[in-house]
A and B are shown apart, each in its own frame.
Chain A
Amino acid sequence: MKAFFLKWNRAVKWSRKNLFSGPLSTLITVLLMVFLFKTFFPLFNWAIAEAHWNTTAMECREGGGACWSFIGEKARYILFGHYPRSEQWRAVFFILSIFLLFFLGQFRRLWSKYLIWACAVFPFVGTLLMRGGFPGLELVKMEDWGGLPLTLLLAFVGIVVSYPLGILLALGRRSSMPVINALSVCYIELIRGVPLISILFMGSVMFPLLLPEGVTISKVLRAQAAMILFSSAYMAEVVRGGLQAIPRGQYEAAKAIGLGYGQTMGLVVLPQALKIVIPPTVNTFIGLFKDTSLVFIISLSDLLFTTKASFKDAEWLGFSVEGYFFAAFIYFVFCYFMGRVSFRIETEMSR
């Protein structure tokens, strides 16, 4: 009993100090409480209390609340799109491996050259696995890919390719050679000056018209190229920021001990510069990951596209909110993990 009172007293003291210290603070506390109650309970009711979990569409419509049955019915389509059902284990494997890489990336002990290589090589190996077309694995054309694997593919191949490209462009922009410098500046400014959508449209609408009739390049590849072009320009500016933060003394010291350009950059400048720019780098990566959803405009069935298409089934019309919640959750999980990994790397590096 006494212990309870002690605790109670402490709680009252704490809240007086932190929540009700003055009239303004009291007012804000009360307003926030009201806001929370007003939003939390209806949301809870909708999402949990009154939700339907395993019903038909009709039952969902008759009751209120969220219709999670819709997700149950459509999850497979949303996640994998038109990827053939019998081959979907490959897509599952692809997704799980990316998860695993993220998960392993959290542990300091496992950091090694091998893990970095795995991260760099895996998107391509995974692509090969998903595509098949060699003995033992049936060919699944890229046009048939969809859902989460496509989103992950566009994002991770995009990241892995645009990172080194961005570094090269940044070095190019800082270069004293006029042609390289001019080309880099032009490229970066041009790409940054137009929205991603217009690049995607160029790739998907204009580009095929230039090709001879009947010759087509996979839409996925065209979109992938557009994503890489776009994010490498942004990456370049991020890296350039890091390069500028390195004091002149570092360059001079490197020169003084007789290092050439490659060695100066590779051994002295870049390792420091890239470390400084980890937060904006991850920012760009997360941005790229989310930007992949724009490919729905050119009818690639990425995660958002399959989510939207699943709303249109005549038997399951009208559950878009549930669908968007599901898609948002998946996006959040991946972006959160990306943030975590970068945070771990940062804390390790600054030790």
Chain B
Amino acid sequence: MKSNVIRLTSAVVIPIFLIIIFPSHAGETFKRIKKRGHVRCGVSAGLPGFSVPDSKGKWKGIDVDVCRAFAAALFGDARKIKVSGLSAQQRFTALQSGEIDVLTRNTTYTLSRDTSVGLNFAPVNYYDGQGFMVKKSSGVKSAKKLKGASVCIHQGTTTERNVADFFRRHSMKFKPIVMESDEEVFKAFVAGRCDTYTTDVSGLAARRTTLKKPNDFIILPEIISKEPLAPAVRHGDDEWFDLVKWSVFAMISAEELGITSRNVDKMKKSPDPNIRRLLGVIKGNGKALGVSESWAYNIIKLVGNYGESFERNVGEKSPLRLKRGLNALWTKGGLMYAPPVK
């Protein structure tokens, strides 16, 4: 009798799935961030110079600086950020599900991501590209001479595909040696298991610093892919998207106008209308963006201009010692160009 009752109840227990779908609050991210009081950014969980926790567990890097700039513009306090380290597989879900407000995770700006993945890309904050590293003793001076070479590649991402495309384009054969961890791949290359190692040039430079004799290795001049890395927000978030875009532009403009974190207070007295407009002496920009008039001043004061951030994190003074290259201002032969801030 008793077991009959149990049998009956257990038969009646049917799993009920309740998925309550609230109306999607597109375009309200901006308000929500303001209410919350901090910006949530998704970064790479460890990429030297771009985003990496230091020994105290504090995030540093060029991607983290961009995130700090958003907080500076919104709240006048660059510390009001919440950074989460994301894996490559996870990054888009994190953005779409609202776990983060903006993705500043060395993400390459591509058509499919801009459309079907549902992202809106802000201006590029770092132009990267895939390159090759070889041992100097190999005598190879150009990637076109890598015929039949064994290539050490880090699994996943677009790196593998780019290499295959490059070798096919030049109708050369190659032997891929693919490994799961980038540490392992590089160690294999140094140990001589393959002739060349390939990844983004910034990554090659970072790896080279770890060597006992960095000068025994050279980075070949060919760049085989375009990797414009840009922050991204969700579709339909126009107000927030505007602020993200113009925060990056403000950093670039500041460098162009010669405003640094050190001289920004002095620059406020400058007669140049461009400078006065950027620093909010001539009002209007802040109101248009929906933030305080000193938004750009705060960014420059608390984070610095683009050049400062670059030098501090990846430039000649940092351990990575990367040259500005494509990331120089347009006036200096690079691609960094900001539309007028007015």
Give A residues with C-beta under 8 Å from B. 61-62, 73-74, 76-77, 80-83, 85, 143, 146, 177-180, 183, 201, 204-205, 208-216, 219, 297-299, 301, 305-306, 308-318, 320
Contacts and interface: CB of A to CB of B under 8 A. Distances in A.
B206 A317 contact: yes
B112 interface: no
A312 B47 contact: yes
A80 to B, nearest CB: 7
Nearest to B44: A312
Contact of A313 (B19, B21, B52, B85): B52
B290 interface: no
B84 A143 contact: yes
A213 B97 contact: yes
B87 A85 contact: no
Contacts of A210: 19
B321 to A, nearest CB: 10
B32 interface: yes
Interface stretch (B68-76, B88-96, B215-223, B258-266): B88-96
B57 A81 contact: yes
8 contacts: A76-B56, A208-B93, A208-B99, A213-B22, A213-B98, A215-B22, A297-B89, A314-B314
A317 B57 CA distance: 16
Given A314-B52, A314-B209, 10 more contacts: A73-B55, A82-B57, A85-B56, A204-B93, A214-B98, A299-B86, A305-B45, A312-B46, A312-B52, A313-B52
A173 to B, nearest CB: 14
A179 B10 contact: yes
B198 to A, nearest CB: 18
A309 B53 contact: yes
Contact of B183 (A177, A213, A216, A320): A320
Contacts of B46: 308-309, 311-312
Contacts of B89: 201, 205, 297
Nearest to B207: A317
Interface string B38-51: 00000001111100
Contacts of A214: 22, 25, 32, 98
Contacts of B207: 317
Contacts of B6: 177
A320 B48 CA distance: 14
Nearest to B17: A210
A210 B183 CA distance: 36
B318 interface: yes
B212 A62 contact: yes
A314 B49 contact: yes
B11 interface: yes
A310 B87 CA distance: 15
Contacts of B98: 213-216
Q: Considering residues A74, A209, A214, which has the most beta carbons from chain B within 10 angstroms of its beta carbon?
A: A214
